[in-house]
Structure 1
Amino acid sequence: MNKQQLLFVIDSLDCAGAEKSLVTLLSLLNYSKYSVDLVLFAHGKVLEELVPKEVNIIKPLEYTRFANLKINDAIVYSFKNRNIKNLIARAKYSYRIRRGKYSNAQKARIFWESVANVFEENPKHYDVAISYAQGIPTFYVADKVIAKKKYAWVNVSYRLNRMDKEFQKRFYDQFDKIVAVSDSTKEIFLETFPEFLNRMEVIFDINNPDLILNMAQMGSNYEDEFKGIRILTIGRLAHQKGYDVALDACKKLKERGINFRWYALGKGPLQQELEKYIRENELTEHFILLGVKANPYPYIKNADIYVQTSRFEGFGLAIAEARMLNVPIVSTRFDAVYTQMIHEKNGLVVNMNGEEVSNAILTLITDNTLRSSIIQYLEKEKKGNIEEIQRFYQLIG
């Protein structure tokens, strides 16, 4: 029997929600039926080691390799090979991106407008091609891949301005289905693109409890021998994740004399700004940036409280992981939060400000009855959703 040829495309396999969801999906696929290629625009990230050996990670694309060269090396390479198209594209993008502050959608548009003409087309013909994130993966699958069916994943709740809506519409027009990772993500996407209603599907980010429970027993976790309350947040150090709210809540907890440490797993563009705030507000012993860990699960398992201060999420995979490890949760009220959270059952859901977040954390610290009730509920509630793989199989035929 000929195997079905699948292509997945994602920005990278850094340690984040969509990336972990893809790795989990790949770990569940039946490789007797599917031959799988994977395109990445950044290589060498922490989750690549978890990709099943059956998956063919395609070597870095020519422009990806060129963009990683130091600028002097890029100039020498271009003239030595008598090909300056890549150099012109790189310079064009660099010039445009430095002219202002842009959203992720705007950055993706500027990148593709600048470099699309130098990206080589994928030479293979696929049965199914999947962009597993919005932005550049979606543009690439639409423009550079030949496939019988094309599916676009939307895994973040985001709204577009008129220019980005018009730009992205011509790419989504080329997809057979558009897959949202939650009902709220679908609703928000349709606010921008109501014309795609009949092409929309919902397939939740897949999380496998057995994998997470096993990984929670492996590797290192907190090494500071702290004996107080451990609070954990996981997420890119970016505006979306609401670290300003977390730091304000941290400051208020310190002022109340609580014996705690708040740890954050992630990296991102706000790191220096957050470090400055931590220093200036004397929070160095209370809010600790741990960077990225390939295996965050021992940290989740050994936390007393998990806190998510996001402004928006497509699904909230880290919340699902904390639930699977029976850690009480405090979350802000972002669009998709009630896909998972039941207030005062598996955690507390509050408004997006430091006062309410700190009050909720304090409640979980001081109200032993409520805390015990939440943990008991977490221990009994359904774990994971690997049955979503069946919906994936139905989608691709």
Structure 2
Amino acid sequence: MKINLLFVIDSLDCAGAEKSLVTLLGLLDYSKFTVDLMLFAHGKELEKLVPKEVKILQPLRYTNFSNLRLNDAIIASITKSEYRMLLSRLKYSSNLRKKKYSNSQKARLFWQSTSKVIESNPTEYDVAISYAQGVPTFYVAEKVRAKKKIAWVNVSYRLAATEKQFQKKYYDQYDKVVAVSDTTKEIFLETFPAYSKLVNVVYDINNPHFINEMAIIGEGYKDNFDGIRILTIGRLAHQKGYDIALDACKKLKDAGVPFRWYALGKGPLKEEIKKNIEENELTDHFILLGVESNPYPYIKNADVYVQTSKFEGYGIAIAEARMLNIPVVTTRFDAVFSQMIDEKNGLVVDMNSEAVCEGILKIIHNHSLRESIIKYQKAEKKGNLEEVEKVYQLIE
């Protein structure tokens, strides 16, 4: 009899955890498993890459309700007696307007506001997996029946006392916790030392065959630029350090380097970043490309891949650049040395714009260093498909 699995994640937008999940789903043996996938937001780019064997569950009633325009939501609450949903939505929106919150705070506010109107999953599963911290973790803990529950943690998870207290009662419902790097595990256990016997490390899974195939199909840059192409991939959010990237971009411009710096991603800082670009006259130098479901032609045709993150659980885009033999310049975030070897497969620099700029210039101008990095990358082990076996051991 097949093992009945449920995976839960916020959405399949183009980001690291989402790409890792899609890769894992593409590698599962469907003669052994039946798989349901639960999303809190639908219609994102990576959904088209989900294997046909996976059943994407219908949206939650609250998901559909929250997507209505406010006037339509008010009408629906009257005609369909959805008053509790309307109050939950208004409560969450009101809380968000009070101040700026971290992702963990937003997840708590969302669940506190809406959990009572979110229906439970009617199926009992052999294994239920929340593939991201926050709302997926709360949902699987409270709304899903399963013989075994596994929580994935894919960021450096330092929590304030309020968030720690709130989340502990949900993690108490899990049989296993998976961290995506040794550093992520260490940081998680700083917050939740009581779970030391539950935590396993499974790295974000990268499939080099898939990435190389995707890199030669589809379109990449369309501007016919013949200078140095720099690429960054990441959500337009504080975590990814775009303030550092933009200041480094200005320094490169002042240095007279013929370059364009491209960014793939979307997020809450889009307007702020656009304003910074205009104010610093970087319109021709820092290019926001939005979201692409296939970023690999962009990576393959970049001269330098740059990651200015302030924290990461692993850094899947760095791994993808390495697999395509593109020199990397990255900030020294917590988990960076789980895959980077400074001056071997790229440069690891201090978390400031001067260091990032110097690292890029070093890659551009020091041809022997650049060639030695590419040579090292070509000889590196590509991908980590063996991590799937760790997933099987957790599940079976």
Q: TM-score, normalised by structure 1?
A: 0.99
Per-residue deviation, residues 295-337 of structure 1 (Å, max 9, x unmatched): 0000000000000000000000000000000000000000000
**Counterpart in the other structure of 2:53:** 54
What letter is aligned with 2:98? R
- Unaligned runs of 5+ residues in structure 2 are none
Shift of 1:83: 2.9
What letter is aligned with 1:36? V
Is the counterpart of residue 84 in structure 1 residue 83 in structure 2? yes
Q: How does 1:1-397 map to 2 (within 5 A)?
A: 2-397=1-396
Where 2:128 maps in the other structure, the secondary structure is strand
Where 1:86 maps in the other structure, the secondary structure is helix
What letter is aligned with 1:96? N
Where 1:373 maps in the other structure, the secondary structure is helix
Alpha-carbon distance between aligned partners in 1 of 2:82 and 2:333, rounded to the nearest angstrom: 48
Where 1:198 maps in the other structure, the secondary structure is coil
What letter is aligned with 1:193? F
Where 2:38 maps in the other structure, the secondary structure is strand
Identity fraction in percent: 68
What letter is aligned with 1:305? V
Shift of 1:85: 1.0
Shift of 1:97: 1.2
Alpha-carbon distance between aligned partners in 1 of 2:227 and 2:73, rounded to the nearest angstrom: 51
Shift of 1:81: 1.2
Single out whichever of 75-84 and 170-179 deviates more from structure 2: 75-84
Alpha-carbon distance between aligned partners in 2 of 1:312 and 1:293, rounded to the nearest angstrom: 23
Where 1:127 maps in the other structure, the secondary structure is strand
Alpha-carbon distance between aligned partners in 1 of 2:44 and 2:87, rounded to the nearest angstrom: 27
Over 3 Å off, 4+ runs: none
Per-residue deviation, residues 165-217 of structure 1 (Å, max 9, x unmatched): 00000000000001000000000001110011011000000010000000001
Alpha-carbon distance between aligned partners in 1 of 2:371 and 2:95, rounded to the nearest angstrom: 53
Shift of 1:153: 0.2
Alpha-carbon distance between aligned partners in 2 of 1:287 and 1:5, rounded to the nearest angstrom: 46
Shift of 1:348: 0.3
Alpha-carbon distance between aligned partners in 1 of 2:92 and 2:343, rounded to the nearest angstrom: 48
Alpha-carbon distance between aligned partners in 1 of 2:118 and 2:282, rounded to the nearest angstrom: 46
Shift of 1:34: 0.2
Per-residue deviation, residues 249-272 of structure 1 (Å, max 9, x unmatched): 110011010000000000001111
Alpha-carbon distance between aligned partners in 1 of 2:370 and 2:114, rounded to the nearest angstrom: 52
What letter is aligned with 2:121? N
Shift of 1:61: 0.6
Where 2:125 maps in the other structure, the secondary structure is strand
Name the count of aligned residue pairs. 396
Q: TM-score, normalised by structure 2?
A: 1.00
Alpha-carbon distance between aligned partners in 2 of 1:262 and 1:94, rounded to the nearest angstrom: 35
Shift of 1:158: 2.5
Single out whichever of 344-353 and 75-84 deviates more from structure 2: 75-84
Where 2:306 maps in the other structure, the secondary structure is strand
What letter is aligned with 2:278? R
Alpha-carbon distance between aligned partners in 1 of 2:81 and 2:345, rounded to the nearest angstrom: 61
Alpha-carbon distance between aligned partners in 2 of 1:92 and 1:290, rounded to the nearest angstrom: 34
Per-residue deviation, residues 91-147 of structure 1 (Å, max 9, x unmatched): 111111111110000000000000000000000000000000000000000000000
- Unaligned runs of 5+ residues in structure 1 are none
Alpha-carbon distance between aligned partners in 2 of 1:360 and 1:93, rounded to the nearest angstrom: 43
Alpha-carbon distance between aligned partners in 2 of 1:158 and 1:169, rounded to the nearest angstrom: 13
